[in-house]
Amino acid sequence: MMRAYDIIARKRDGLRLSAEEIDFMVRGFVEGLISDYQMSAFLMAAYIKGLNEEETINLTRSMIASGRCVDLSSVKGIKVDKHSTGGVGDTTTLILAPLVAAAGVPVAKMSGRALGHTGGTLDKLESIPGFNVNLSKEQFIGQVNRIGVAIAGATADIVPADKKIYALRDVTATVSSIPLIASSVMGKKIAGGADAIVLDVKTGSGAFMETLSESRKLAEMLVTIGHKMGRQTVAIISDMDQPLGFAVGNALEVKEAIDTLKGKGPPDLAELCFTLGSYMLVLAGIVSKPEEGRALLKDTLSTGKALDKFGQLIEAQRGDPDVLSDQGILPRSSMVEDYLAGKEGYILSMDAKKIGEAVMELGAGRETKESAVDLSVGLVLYRKVGDRVEFGEPIVKIHANHYGKLQKAISILKEAIIISDERPQPRPLIYDIITENKVSR
Ligand code: URA
Ligand code: CA
């Protein structure tokens, strides 16, 4: 008979686990037969000793088998999903989903809530008055068939093992593990019905994998799992050392997404959307090269079709489409204050993790017993890394609803933003694009 104790001990000693052993742990935990403390020990052993490629694929399979899969077979065409490993001010889904749908590729997107210092797409969408993210499977699929796009929260029966395991990882310091992230991400994408997957693997201070070499290993593992499980997969390694775009916060990012769909968005955010989107079009088979995809997306954006599609999406999910022309209907904070440069020079860093924490401190993060997610608060950057600033010049606009939280956010910004006399070397926005399995250990 298998026992959790023996499986934990084998992983502790660095031994390889069989598919049956991994499945025993995942299934037992979901069914409540394995306790939190045994699963925590198992996760820590896996974190420290690692899981090889085969074990990671088996873990992904067990994750998927813990729940039900979305059947998108009634949606015509190749269904391409996109997933980010988590970032700060990462507004891409709000732009990409309507943009890619308007270019002719069906987008059935399941998104999540805020996690750690990173924001959640569902929270952002809920800042549009009336917007409903809770769609049944039938509503979700019906909407994709009707207008080509839907964004909803995953129902409880999609990879329940991930929800339970993630909650434990969050409090046991076992999030930043390549096999654990890879199985979590790919399990959800495959269970979500994706035929092909474009992954945005973040690197830098605001990412779960901070160094480029670790991010690259994660990207390669994600692509390997995708290919071994019969899904075309591409991973784009992108910068998350400073926030993406200018806005960080729920309603503030909705405004930024609308600006971007009008062609007036921050250059880095627009560029990342074009890169991710062009690969989505390639995997969907409607263009043969990313350059063609980019041209099609630029045309879709400049003709206003992408913005119209966002309007259709909002209307279909009972949100107020007037938000496209009147952003005054979005929730607004009661206080705004500028954070000023303490000296002249060049911005050396805007630490994405700390900035994310400052925004969580303002109340934009997870719902707690005491308070709901505050949709109106956040930050808007006036400057980015490498920019010149003068003494006393505003660098960040802070939107807050509570004086104490505002002060706390300011003290975090003091640590996050460093000004130096010399102009720093610019970091690239895109580090690499992984299309082939290079790992195979
Ligand atoms: N995003 C996920 O979906 N899972 C992880 O484990 C980390 C980031
Ligand atoms: Ca942003």
Position 114 scores a pLDDT of 87
User: Rounded CA gap, 285 and 292, in Å?
Assistant: 11
The DSSP H or E segment spanning 253 is helix 250-261
Residue 437 is predicted with a pLDDT of: 59
208 lines ligand 1 (CB under 6 A): yes
Compute the distance between CA of residue 191 and CA of residue 51 in angstroms, rounded to an integer: 21
Name residues with Cβ closer than 5 Å to ligand 2, which is an ion. Answer: 89, 91, 244-245, 247
Q: Active-site residue 117, yes or no?
A: no
* DSSP characters over 125-172: HHTSTT------HHHHHHHHHHHSEEEEEPPTTSSHHHHHHHHHHHHT
Active site annotation includes 399: no
Return the structure tokens found at 419: 């000004």
Name residues whose C-beta falls within 8 Å of residue 229's C-beta, 6 or more positions apart in sequence. Answer: 57, 60, 61, 186, 190
Helix (H, G, I), strand (E, B) or coil at 213: helix
Annotated catalytic residue within 90, 162, 268, 351:
162
* 121 Cβ inside 6 Å of ligand 1: no
Rounded to whole angstroms, the Cα distance separating 199 from 80 reads: 11
User: Residue 218 belongs to what H/E stretch?
Assistant: helix 212-228
Residue closest via CA to ligand 1's atom 2 equals 185
Q: Which pTM does this prediction carry? A: 0.95
Annotated active-site residue 169? The verdict is yes
* C-beta separation of 394 from 367 below 8 A: no
Q: Which among 288, 232, 300 is positioned nearest to 260, based on CA atoms?
A: 300
Tokens representing 108?
């059935």
**Which contacts (CB < 8 Å, 24+ apart) does range 286-291 have?**
286/103, 286/104, 286/105
Name the residue with the closest Cα to ligand 1, atom 5: 181
In the numeric block, which tokens belong to residue 196?
Answer: 């092909």
What string of pLDDT tens digits covers the 441 residues of the chain? 899 999 999 999 999 999 999 999 999 999 999 999 999 999 999 999 999 999 999 999 999 999 999 999 999 999 999 999 989 999 999 999 999 999 999 999 999 988 888 999 999 999 999 999 999 999 999 999 999 999 999 988 999 999 999 999 989 999 999 999 999 999 999 999 999 999 999 999 999 999 999 999 999 999 999 999 999 999 999 999 999 999 999 999 999 999 999 999 999 999 999 999 999 999 999 999 999 999 999 999 999 999 999 999 999 999 999 999 999 999 999 999 999 999 999 999 999 999 999 999 999 987 777 778 999 999 999 999 999 999 999 999 999 999 999 999 999 999 999 999 999 998 999 999 999 755 443
Token pair for residue 427?
């970091």
320 labelled catalytic: no
Task: Please report where in the chains the tokens 């995942």 appear, as a residue.
Answer: 26
- Which of 64, 83, 85, 225 has the most ligand 1 atoms within 8 A of CB, as the residue to mutate? 85
In sequence order, which residues have a C-beta less than 8 Å from that of residue 173 and are 6 or more positions away?
Answer: none
Residue 83 annotated as catalytic:
yes
Are the C-beta atoms of 298 and 281 separated by less than 8 Å? no
pLDDT at 438: 52
Instruction: Looking at the CA of residue 112, tell me the nearest atom of ligand 1.
Output: 3
**Which pLDDT does position 183 carry in this prediction?**
98
- Asked if residue 86 lies in contact with residue 116, where contact means CB atoms within 8 angstroms, the answer is yes
Q: Which ligand gives the minimal distance to the CA of 90?
A: 2
Which distant-in-sequence residues (6+ apart) come within 8 Å of 404 by Cβ? none
Smallest CA separation from ligand 1 atom 6, residue: 181
Task: Find the catalytic residue in 11, 117, 169, 202.
Answer: 169
